[in-house]
Amino acid sequence: MEDLLLTEEERKVKYEVRNIVKDVPPELIRDIESEKVKFPREFLDLVAGAGIVGLRYPKKYGGRDASWVADMSAVEEMGRLGFTLSCMYSLGTIVGEAINRFGTPEQKETYLRGITSGKRYGAEAITEPSGGSDLFGMMKTAARREGDTFVLNGQKRFIVGGQGADFFVTYAVTDPSATPRTRGVSAFIVDRDTPGLRVETMYGLMGNKGGGTARIVFKDAVVPENHLIGEVNQGYDVFNRMMVPERLTTASGSLGVANAAIEVAAQYAMHREAFGAKLMEHEGVSFRIAESLTGIAHASALVYTASRAADALDAGKASPSYVRKLVSMAKLNSTEVMWNAVNSAMQVLGGIGYTTVYPVERLLRDSRLGMIWTGTNEIMKLIIQHEYVKEISSPEYPRDKRNIELDALDFSLVDEKVMS
Ligand SMILES: Cc1cc2nc3c(=O)[nH]c(=O)nc-3n(C[C@H](O)[C@H](O)[C@H](O)COP(=O)(O)OP(=O)(O)OC[C@H]3O[C@@H](n4cnc5c(N)ncnc54)[C@H](O)[C@@H]3O)c2cc1C
C-alpha cells in the first residue's frame, strides 16, 4: 500500500500514468541519449494519444479537471523516464497554464485543445541571453504595437522545444518606461511559422538531451493582437502563475528520477558481494540508501503539500504568496534531494555506475540541471525569504502566539538588543 495521502481519484491517475511510462520503448530513451532523436515527437504523440496531457485543464478543452496533486503525481511517474521526457510532458501543463488562466475562449479552443490533443506542442521562451534570474530587470525583447499587431524583436535562450515546438509562450517589454519594470511586460503566443521567428543555436548539453534546446530569435516577428495573453502589460501576473506548474513539475519529476536511481542501486546492493557479504549488508552502503529514501520521502511530503496549497489557492483558500513560498521550497528541496540520491546511487554501484551499462550516469547528468533551471536554487531561496518576511511583517500575521523572547533569562535587558 502506498500513496496514502492521495485521494482514490488521484491514485487512479498516478497508476494510469505509471502503466504508460512502463511501456515507453527503452530504444527511444537510448536514441535520445545517443542524439539520434533530437526532439521526441513520438513520445509526445504517445502521451497525448493516451489522453494524459494537460490533466488539470477543463474537460471541454480535452483535460480532466484534475487537481494539482493528481497532475503532479503524473509528473512524478514521468520522472522514471528521466528529466528530458518528464520535462517534455510537463511543458503541456506549464504553457497551458498561462492560456487556461488568462487566455480568451478562442485561444483556449485553439491552443489548450491543441495541447491536450497533441496537435500543438507548446514551449516556453522566457530566458534571455542577458539574464534568466533577473529576467524582468534585464529583458531586452520588445514588442511594438503596429495597428492590430505587435512586432517582436529580441531573443530567447535555452528554450526546450526550440526545435520542434509548434508555438511558444513568450514575454516582451511593451512599456519601457513602466515602474516597476515588471508592469511593462506582456505575454504572447507566437506560432512557429511566424515570419521573423528563427531558430539559431542548438545547444550541446551535458544531459537532458533530446529536448531540442535552442536559441530563438525574433526579428520583426509580426504577432496578431489576438495572440496577446491577458491584457497589455499584464505579463508579470501571467509569469507568476506559470511559475507554479513550472517549479512544481521540476519538483515532482525529481522525485521520480531519485526513486528510480535508488531502486537501481538497492537492487545492485542486494546482489553484489564484497568482503564475504552482500553490499547491502555493509552499513556504509545501506545507510546511504536509507538516507536517500528518507530525503525522497520528505521531498515528496513537501511536493504534495505545495500541490495541495495550489489546489487551495484555486479554491480561494490560500494566498498566492503562501503558494509561491511552498512551491519554491519544493523545487529547491526536491532538486537537491534528487542530486544527492542519484549521486549516492552512483557511489553504491561503484565503477559500473559511472559507465553507460547502467542508467545512473545519465540520471546524474540530467539531475544537475534541476538546480539551475525554472529559476535557480539561489533564486528559490530569495523568493522563500522574501515571502516569509512579507508574511511575518503583515498585519494579518497571527499575533496570538506565545512570545518566546520572554522566556530568555535576561529578556528584560532591552538595552542589549541593539539592532543598528
Ligand atoms: C538545458 C536548459 C534548459 C532550459 N530550458 C528553458 C526553457 O525551456 N525556457 C526558458 O525560458 N528557459 C530555460 N532555461 C533557462 C534557465 O531557466 C536559466 O538558465 C536559469 O533561470 C538561470 O539563468 P541564467 O542562465 O541566465 O543565469 P544567471 O541569471 O546569469 O545566474 C548565474 C548565477 O548567478 C546566480 N545569481 C543570480 N542572481 C543572484 C542573486 N540575486 N543572488 C544569488 N545568486 C544569484 C544564479 O543563481 C546563478 O548561479 C534552460 C536552461 C538550460 C541550461
Cα separation, 246 vs 229, in Å, equals 17
Tell me phi and psi for residue 113, to 5 degrees.
Answer: -65, -35
- Ligand 1 atom index nearest CA of 374: 17
User: 1 pLDDT exceeds 60?
Assistant: no
Which CA distances in Å does 79 have to 32, 137, 155, 236, 260?
15, 33, 30, 29, 8
**pTM for the structure as a whole:** 0.97
Ligand 1 atom closest to Cα of 378?
A: 47
DSSP code of 112? I
d(CA 80, CA 87): 12
CA nearest to 338, candidates 241, 415, 258, 231: 258
Q: How many angstroms separate the CA atoms of 71 and 14, rounded?
A: 8
Residues with CB under 6 A from ligand 1: 124-127, 131-133, 158-160, 205, 208, 213, 369, 372-376, 378-379, 382
Q: Which three cell numbers stand for residue 300?
A: 515528496
pLDDT band for position 4 (cuts 50, 70, 90)? confident
Q: Would you tell me which CATH number, out of the four given (2.30.30.60, 1.20.140.10, 3.40.50.2000, 3.40.50.300), belongs to the domain 236-393? A: 1.20.140.10
What is the architecture, at CATH level 2, of domain 125-233? Beta Barrel (2.40)
Work out the angle at residue 234's Cα, subtended by the Cα atoms of residues 230 and 240, and round it to the nearest 5 degrees. 100
Q: Indicate the SS3 state at residue 155.
A: strand
- H/E run at residue 168: strand 167-173
Task: Supply the Cα-derived Rg of the chain in whole angstroms.
Answer: 23
Residue type, 91: L
Pocket-testing residue among 84, 374, 376, ligand 1, by greatest number of atoms within 8 A of Cβ: 376
Q: Is the dihedral of CA 327, 329, 332, 335 positive or negative?
A: negative
Is residue 226 scored above 90 in pLDDT? Answer: yes
Spatial distance between the Cα atoms of 115 and 125, rounded to a whole number of angstroms: 16
Tell me if 8-121 shares its fold with 125-233.
no
Could you tell me the pLDDT band of residue 3, with boundaries at 50, 70 and 90? confident
| Locus of grid cell 513539475 | 249
Mean pLDDT of the chain: 97
Percent of the chain with pLDDT over 90: 97
User: What fold, for 8-121?
Assistant: Butyryl-Coa Dehydrogenase, subunit A; domain 1 (1.10.540)
Mutate to test the pocket of ligand 1, among 158, 206, 385 (most ligand atoms within 8 A of CB): 158
Residue-wise pLDDT tens digits, 240-286: 999 999 999 999 999 999 999 999 999 999 999 999 999 999 999 99
What's the average model confidence in pLDDT over 322-329? 98
Residue count of the chain: 420
Give, using CA atoms, the residue closest to atom 23 of ligand 1: 132
> pLDDT value at position 2?
73
Q: What mean pLDDT do residues 171-178 have?
A: 98
The CA distance from 392 to 383, in Å, is: 14
For residue 372, the CA-to-ligand 1 centroid distance in Å is: 6
Q: Which of 372, 377, 382, 386 to mutate for ligand 1's pocket (most ligand atoms within 8 Å of CB)?
A: 372
> Of 140, 198, 200, which is closest to residue 173 (Cα–Cα)?
140
Domain ranges of the chain: 8-121, 125-233, 236-393
Judge whether residue 201 has pLDDT over 80: yes
Please state the atom number of ligand 1 nearest to the C-alpha of residue 377. 47
Per-residue pLDDT tens digits for 68-119:
999 999 999 999 999 999 999 999 999 999 999 999 999 999 999 999 999 9
